Structure 1
Amino acid sequence: MSHATSDNSHANDQQLNSVTLLGNLVNKPEIRYLANPVQAITELTLATHSKWLDKKTNSQKEWTSFHHIKVVGEIVEQVIARAQKGDILLVQGYLASHDYAPKETVNATFIQAFAKGYTQEINQLHCSATLATPLTLVTTENNKTLAHADITISFEAAATSTKKPKQHLITRPVHIWGKQALYLSEQAAPGDTLLIEGKLNYLNDFDKSQFIDAKQIQLIKKQATNY
């Protein structure tokens, strides 16, 4: 009996998890300090806005997303300590989960601050992920096709306290629209890899749960194991 495995069987150990946001600081954050070692830490809320044309009413619609962002280390004192409510912040980071509220955040690895003003805002997410549940296909009240499922992302990031690399595994719902939804509902199965380009959105529930609104998805089928 022979046991064949994929040559890239370790490729899924590390997956892409990247978020870029450009928006307005909702309020002046409170800075705290961790001990052993001493590090500045804060949580902030960034607002991004999206606009679209409602074809039913032929009117412009606007939606504001509020992103909870955790910031640790020198960047807090170098950038956030001087930032004011309404300032424009460019944030690079990754999706993260915590045991305390808010449980779903973006952990920032880079922040650049700009003075108040108008700019085209950015809400971009790029990730590779494993499809964790079967896709559910529904038709919305606006007669649009939607598929939704849970995905998992496995990645390595520095621990807050020790700064040592730590393996993380997070789960998020993903929403997929239109022809992509139909295609993936027929072709994708749990265990497959999805390469996702999209944006962060939030459910209108008590926790404002975070989900991924997919724009483009590439499907990589899981290679069967032969015996």
Structure 2
Amino acid sequence: MSHATSAPATPQLNALQLNSVTLLGNLVNKPEIRYLANPVQAITELTLATHSKWLDKKTNTQKEWTSFHHIKVIGEVVEQVIARAQKGDILLVQGYLASHDYAPKETVNATFIQAFAKGYTQEINQVHCSATLAAPLALVTTENNKTLAHAEISIFFETPSTSGKKPKQVNLTRPLHIWGKQALYLSEHAAPGDTLLIEGKLNYLNDLDKSQFIDGKHIQLIKKPAINY
């Protein structure tokens, strides 16, 4: 299970890292709006569904997969956009990966939302981040004879403030799945403490918590500098 702490797992020369998520999908239900005090701010949680289609080459049939993303929204955008949004509306969400103490613990915190009329849309499901490799990669072969590397990454970033307070620095961990030739390359060359520049999509395990992970598409490895004594 991922978690957030107040300090990075590995010291870095340029500590703060990229943590960006972009989603385009359908609002699953009308969210309930609440209000925080000191200062008074609107807050809500919503579920966004993104849809993707692909051709199954083995059966020559179209397949479709729907992912459900839990999103936390706070501030003016709640009353300006979410208060008028209806079930089925298309939402464009820009935000960042986050963890909380309450369920579901793994979310996307939204910093920007734009609403469009109801309808079906192909997904936008993009994660762009820089991260530190927290542990050695585990390389496996799946039932379909595909190569998969499982990694644990750490992202050290600042959370934007919606109330004028100083941004909080957070160290967040997520599982990362890497496939094929990239998996083989990184299993041979990457080591804990190295930096990974990641382009991928947000996905979820089929467990009780629907644990969040990043499905890596393009990974760039930046080796940790060697220490000479």
Same topology, TM > 0.5: yes
Match of 1:108 in 2: 110
Match of 1:5 in 2: none
Give distance in 2, aligned partners of 1:12 and 1:186: 25
Structure 1 residue 53 corresponds to structure 2 residue 67: no
- Structure 1 unaligned regions, length at least 5: 1-8
Give distance in 2, aligned partners of 1:118 and 1:86: 8
Shift of the 60–78 alpha-carbon distance from structure 1 to 2, 3 Å rule, reads same
Q: CA deviation at 1:160?
A: 6.1
* Pick aligned residue for 2:78 from 69, 76, 79: 76
TM-score using structure 2 length: 0.92
Match of 2:35 in 1: 33
Match of 1:12 in 2: 14
TM-score using structure 1 length: 0.93
Q: Tell me the alpha carbon deviations over residues 57-104 of structure 1, each in whole angstroms, 9 at most, x when there is no partner.
A: 221111110000000000100000000000000000000011111100
Shift of the 10–171 alpha-carbon distance from structure 1 to 2, 3 Å rule, reads closer
Q: Tell me the alpha carbon deviations over residues 89-131 of structure 1, each in whole angstroms, 9 at most, x when there is no partner.
A: 0000000011111100000000000001233320001000000
Match of 1:132 in 2: 134
Larger deviation: 156-165 or 213-222? 156-165
| Matched residues, number | 219
Match of 2:180 in 1: 178
Residue 178 of structure 2 aligns to a residue in which SS?
strand
Structure 1 residue 191 corresponds to structure 2 residue 183: no
- Structure 2 unaligned regions, length at least 5: 1-10
Give distance in 1, aligned partners of 2:175 and 2:82: 30
Letter in 1 for 2:217: K
**Which of structure 1's runs of 4+ aligned residues deviate more than 6 A?**
none
Letter in 1 for 2:49: A
CA RMSD of aligned residues (A): 1.3
Residue 13 of structure 1 aligns to a residue in which SS?
coil
Q: CA deviation at 1:158?
A: 2.8
